[in-house]
Amino acid sequence: MKRFEYARAGSPSDAVRRFRPGTMYLGGGTNLVDLMRLGVAEPDLLVDVSRLPLDVIEPVGDRLRVGAAVRNTDLAADPLVRTHYPMLARAVLAGASGQVRNMATVAGNLLQRTRCAYFQDVSRPCNKRRPGSGCPAIEGDHGNLAVLGASGACVATHPSDMAVALAALDAEVHVTGPGGDRIIPMPGLHRLPGEEPERDTVLEPGDLITAVELPASPPGASAYRKVRERASFAFALVSIAASLDVGSDGVVSDCRIALGSVAHVPWRAERAERLLIGGPATGAAFLEAAEAELDQARPLPRNAYKLPLARNLIVATLEELAP
């Protein structure tokens, strides 16, 4: 591991003031420290933000503000989250292990890096780690990589479960940085790889996430479902966060669908949502919407299995939510 300097921030503004080229913020460290051990991340300075007073969950009118330093375990156990945003609680509990959730923070979960094997192996080329070096995953081991929104420069996926639920909930990410304070909507925080796969998000150097704000909970029933190779401590093959509200006439009045582990971002299924809202809540309609969404997919030879998996997961989840 490369030698680095360490500083503990006294406030969000102090953290931003300390930022210089080569700096990284340290929260729970569950992903960053691993990457430092692998030689993928080599900061010159770590600014510890884990002790900042950003660990509060509080209602703001009909909204809920979650501090960036809230631990994943505390988020999933919070009574307001469990009551009003059950898909979020379930998504958090579906990620990692109890020990990791005890350390991991909300901001860190959003900003975790891909688990693509080529990104984590410093002996191999990777456009995300070393821009311009190539993406060997396209011809190599891509069985659990992107089928939507990928580019010729990168086919990595975003690994977060929590981020999928936040994308479905239209969460807002509060950020402070050298340019001042701003709010970034979800979807919108994460970006597709394009020709700059090294940029996972729209954050600028020095930007610090201070909170995530949830709007009023969506109407109807909601769920988070995750398909993975084993029952725990495994990243998704495909996941879904969804909510569905159906009127007494059987017509869909509101629908939210976000997919995980299919793209470089938590993928909001906007095409499927548009087809469903105002239409019947039937299995045939759910299938048509799922197929329309996945018509955009461009799978590689060894991850095409994700298309029927995602289609069936969308249909089964919506059928479960329908009255």
Q: Which positions ≥6 away from 157 have C-beta within 8 Å? A: 114, 116, 144, 145, 146, 261, 262, 263, 264
Domains: count for the chain? 2
Six token digits for residue 208: 């610090």
pLDDT number for residue 42: 97
Q: How many beta carbons lie within 10 A of that of residue 253, not counting itself?
A: 14
Residue 126 lies in a domain: no
Question: What's the CATH number where 307 sits?
Answer: 3.30.390.50
Q: H-helix or E-strand containing 12?
A: helix 12-18
Residue 278 lies in a domain: yes
Six token digits for residue 151: 């580019």
Q: How far is CA 3 from CA 28, 36, 41, 44, 320, in A?
A: 19, 10, 12, 7, 52
Q: How far apart are CA 114 and CA 265, in angstroms?
A: 10
Beta bridge partners of 175: 182, 209
Residue 15 lies in a domain: yes
Q: How far apart are CA 95 and CA 235, in angstroms?
A: 7
Mean pLDDT of 137-164: 98
Six token digits for residue 196: 């700059």
Location of structure tokens 């081991």: 141
Six token digits for residue 161: 């479960």
Question: If pLDDT is split at 50, 70 and 90, which confidence band does 310 have?
Answer: very high
Six token digits for residue 129: 């780690």
Burial track 38-60 (b if 16+ CB lie within 10 A, e otherwise)? eebbebebbbebbebebbebeee
Residue 22 lies in a domain: yes
Location of structure tokens 């010729």: 152
Residue 233 lies in a domain: yes
Helix (H, G, I), strand (E, B) or coil at 204: coil
Residue 254 lies in a domain: yes
Mean pLDDT of 172-184: 98
Q: 256 lies in which domain range?
A: 221-321
Q: How far is CA 232 from CA 96, 118, 236, 279, in A?
A: 7, 23, 10, 37
Question: If pLDDT is split at 50, 70 and 90, which confidence band does 59 have?
Answer: very high
pLDDT number for residue 118: 98
Average model confidence (pLDDT) for the chain?
A: 97
Q: pLDDT per residue over 232-244, tens digit each?
A: 889 999 999 999 9
Burial track 195-211 (b if 16+ CB lie within 10 A, e otherwise)? eebeebbebeebbbbbb
Q: Which amino acid is at 21?
A: P
pLDDT number for residue 31: 98
Burial class of 280 by CB neighbour count within 10 A (0 to 12, 13 to 18, 19+): middle
Q: How far apart are CA 38 and CA 153, in angstroms?
A: 22
Six token digits for residue 29: 């460290």
Question: What's the CATH number where 35 sits?
Answer: 3.30.43
Q: Among candidates 66, 8, 321, 21, which has minimal Cα distance to 210?
A: 66
Residue 34 lies in a domain: yes
Question: If pLDDT is split at 50, 70 and 90, which confidence band does 231 have?
Answer: confident
Q: How far apart are CA 6 and CA 193, in angstroms?
A: 31
CB 241 within 8 Å of CB 168:
yes
CB 263 within 8 Å of CB 148:
yes
Residue 89 lies in a domain: no
Q: How far apart are CA 320 and CA 221, in angstroms?
A: 9
Q: Which amino acid is at 257?
A: I
Question: If pLDDT is split at 50, 70 and 90, which confidence band does 50 have?
Answer: very high
pLDDT number for residue 248: 97
Given a cut of 90, whether residue 157 has pLDDT beyond it is yes
Mean pLDDT of 32-52: 97
Q: How far apart are CA 149 and CA 264, in angstroms?
A: 7
Six token digits for residue 72: 């994943």
pLDDT number for residue 232: 83
pLDDT number for residue 275: 98
